[in-house]
Structure 1
Amino acid sequence: MSETSPQLKRQKTAHKVIGTHNGTFHCDEALAVFLLRQTSTYADSDLKRTRDPSVLDTCDIVVDVGAVYDETKRRFDHHQRGFTEVLGYGFNTKLSSAGLIYKHFGKEIIANRLQILVDDPKVELLWLKMYRVFIEAIDAIDNGISQYPNDIKPLYRSRTDLSSRVGYLNPAWNQSVDAQAVDARFLEASELTGTEFLNRLDYYANAWLPARELLIESINLSKANVDPTGCIILLNQFLPWKEHLFELESTGEVAATTAIYIVYPDETAGNWRVQAVPVSPESFESRKALPEEWRGLRDDELSHASGIEGGIFIHASGFIGGNKTKEGALKLAQISLEK
């Protein structure tokens, strides 16, 4: 019985090789390399930084160089004339190499991180969320897409974004640094981008997504037990609800009835609050503010004016109020709805 030759053993265990360009690096390819290393195929991959086509042709996958985008050939560049690839799903920002790798491998990366199947509905939800809050800005910055389409001059500029911090890791114009040192700085940049990506993904998977699920559950329970119209939503624990509520209403994932008041326990005082839902996530205007005759009142004065014991306060604008009990806060919302 013949043994496997050392050469065949090396072929079986040989690492995949990721290729990207050498020299000055940017946030998109630094993140693209990190993301690829979160996949099963490229988890232990080596890296070659070069612009030599003959060397790139030996790589298993190439990002941000080569002037070719072809998934079947594992080529993911975005600099060539005529490149217009976007994520889709309502996103119209042209992809950088980070966006390209995320488009094709992002769901697998998220499933691997959460240790769930790639076809789990949570994966696509988080995939789209992470593109919106993390990847899209990197794509836009790398492609030179202005954040202000009408050339509005900002009052100030921020240079602490991830793309800027990666840029600062490059040698300064008057620094003499050899190629090996630049490659080491690229690996530092890749780790920086990847750590932030994974930290953000962990937050959305472990905090943002559970809040969304709890809100859906609370909406359904409130319609069954509190207000069948859906205008009053009772939360039995504090959670960040605003962003989720507007998204759920816009996508039709909850019934079309529009929420007016949210009742929830105060985070610190052990009391309860009723908050009027704003007309939009960023608006200070409420869909229906708490009654004008209660606004600015506190304690016994509020209890007397509203006829509800346990009054604490109603904000002068009527967007929020407080009561010592859940029943009192619910009553504030119910009476306000009728006025």
Structure 2
Amino acid sequence: MFSIKNIVINSIKRPTLSLLSSRMSATSPEAKKMKIASNTIGTHSGTFHCDEVLAVFMLRNHPEFKSHGLLRSRDQSLLDQCDIVVDVGAVYDPSKKRYDHHQSTFQETFSSIRSDFGDKFGNIRLSSAGLVYVHYGEKIITEVLKQFDTTLTDNQLKSVFSKIYSGFIQEIDAIDNGVPQFDGEPKYRVNSHLSSRVKSFNPDWMDDKTPQEIDEAFEEAVKYVGNEFIEKIKFFALSWLPARKIVEEAVQNRLNVHDSGSIIELHRFCPWQEHLRDIEKDHGNVEIKFVIFNGGGRDNDFRVQAVPVEQGSFVCRKFINKKWFGLRDEELEKVSGIKGGKFVHATGFIGGNHTRDGALEMAIKSLVDDE
């Protein structure tokens, strides 16, 4: 039997996990006689990458695998004894819990496996992280959120699951498979992404580390990547998702704000731009022009913001009235004819008023009278 070394993988309370590691030639008689526990996660030994590091962490947060040990080896006779194997073995077969993506026949993407989400994620091939995520991700998210006393409805879980893939996992899939972000040579290289940071846990060419020390470095990388994964789940479930609900309610209530249906009011400020586009599609491709909200949590500080044509752009679907650009206070009140005016940005993408009704009037006037 392999020797077992206990390792705590992160600060979140969980059962202590075990590291199992092969120290002998795969062709030696000793190796061929070796037996390992069936409740073991298998992956390859040697240099490690972000995808299998994350895959191992995710599996350790799945109820079925959370008490499993870990085997890092390239001995196929040993890997065959594992309950589940990721990133090695040249086999993708969910029925046998084999999740490698290196074989030439492998062409699976998020959409090809999870057709219930359509083709919204393009044709980027999955890495071992992506494979584990598309097969086990919802259960893993649900399990992680128990630590924060949070449960999601089926629709909420679907939204968070989708967002974590597009906002975290897909990048790892693309980098591991060598997919460029765009055509042509980039003007600069990004060397601080998660995959690059995981690479730094490996020994460099001048290091003379033992296999055991490399395995220990792998566990440090698991802890590092795992903490970032947990933070993503927390963000999308506990921050991103509540914001979506606020925007959804605002779009549903738009006709009570103005009969054009082009102005929405947020009952509480939140990050709204990304959510708005998805929700507009859900409501038959409605197009919101202005968003009004309380700007600073005070009774005399309200905003009207123009909706950009793309998230983060300062080119808007419709700007605040151009006659008001750059005006403030009394001058703004005089030119606009609206009491309580505070300012309009010089580019016309946002303005302020002392009252909610004043901010709404600024939006309405900009909507119908911008000549």
- 1:203-250 per-position Cα deviation (integer Å, ceiling 9, x unaligned): 010000000011111222232x2113320111122111111101222x
Q: Tell me, in whole angstroms, the C-alpha distance in 1 between the residues paired with 2:239 and 2:309.
A: 25
Alignment of 1:186 with 2:218, yes or no, is yes
Q: Could you tell me how far apart the structure 2 residues matched to 1:175 and 1:114 are?
A: 39
Does residue 1:219 correspond to 2:237, yes or no? no
Residue-by-residue CA offset, 1:161-194 (whole Å, 9 max, x unaligned): 1100110000011110000000000011111111
Give the whole-Å Cα distance in 1 for the aligned partners of 2:70 and 2:262.
56
Deviation at 1:267, TM superposition (A): 2.6
1:308 matched to 2:338? The reply is: yes
Q: C-alpha deviations, 1:104-144, integer Å up to 9, x for none?
A: 00011112223477871111111110110100110111111
Question: Identity rate of aligned residues, in percent?
Answer: 47
Corresponding position of 2:181: 147
CA deviation profile, 1:38-89 (whole Å, cap 9, x unmatched): 1111011100000001110111000000000000111100001111010003
Out of 26, 43, 51, the position equivalent to 1:28 is 51
Residues 290-320 of structure 1 deviation map (CA, whole Å, 9 limit, x = unaligned): 1111111110010011111111111121111
The answer on 1:263 being equivalent to 2:292 is yes
Q: Structure 1 counterpart of 2:125, which letter?
A: K
Alignment size in residue pairs: 321
**Aligned-partner Cα distance in 2 for 1:117–1:302:** 48
* C-alpha distance in 1 between matches for 2:330 and 2:153: 55
2:164 alignment partner, one of 116, 130, 137: 130
Q: Which amino acid aligns with 1:293?
A: K
- Shift in alpha-carbon separation, 1:203–1:118, aligned structure 2, 3 A: closer
Q: TM-score, normalised by structure 2?
A: 0.83
Give 1:154 shift. 2.2
In the alignment, structure 1 residue 334 sits paired with structure 2 residue 364: yes
Q: How does 1:280-319 map to 2 (within 5 A)?
A: 280-319=310-349
Residue identity matched to 2:273: K
Partner of 2:253, secondary structure, is helix
User: Pairwise CA RMSD of aligned residues?
Assistant: 1.6
Determine the C-alpha separation between the residues in 2 that align with 1:281 and 1:97.
31
Query: Given residue 258 of structure 1, which amino acid in structure 2 is its aligned partner?
Result: E
Distance 1:127 1:220 in 2: 24
Code of the aligned partner of 2:106: F
Code of the aligned partner of 2:50? C
Question: Which runs of 5 or more residues in structure 2 are unaligned?
Answer: 1-36, 112-117
DSSP-derived class of the 2:352 partner: strand
Say whether the 8 Å CA contact 1:15–1:44 is kept in structure 2: no
Name structure 1 gaps, 5 residues minimum: 1-13
Q: Could you say which residue in structure 2 is the equivalent of 1:238?
A: 269
Does the Cα contact within 8 Å between 1:229 and 1:257 map onto a contact in 2? no
Partner of 2:348, secondary structure, is coil
Matched, 1:164 2:193: no
The corresponding residue for 1:228 is 259
Distance 1:260 1:118, change over 3 A: closer
Structure 1 stretches of 4+ with a deviation exceeding 4 A read 115-119
| Contact 1:39–1:108 (8 Å) recurs in 2 | yes
Where do residues 78-157 of structure 1 align in structure 2 (5 Å cutoff)?
A: 78-88=101-111, 89-90=118-119, 91=121, 92-115=123-146, 120-148=154-182, 150-151=183-184, 153-157=185-189
Counterpart code for 1:306: S
Secondary structure of the structure 2 residue equivalent to 1:296: coil
Q: Structure 2: how far apart are the matches of 1:292 and 1:122? A: 40
Aligned counterpart, 1:274: 304
What residue in structure 1 maps to residue 27 of structure 2?
Answer: none
1:17 matched to 2:40: yes
Q: Distance in 2 between matches of 1:104 and 1:114?
A: 18
TM-score (norm 1): 0.91
On the 8 A contact 2:124/2:173 being kept in 1, the answer is: yes
Aligned AA for 1:241? Answer: W
Counterpart for residue 8 of structure 1: none
C-alpha contact 1:216 1:254 (8 A) present in aligned 2: no
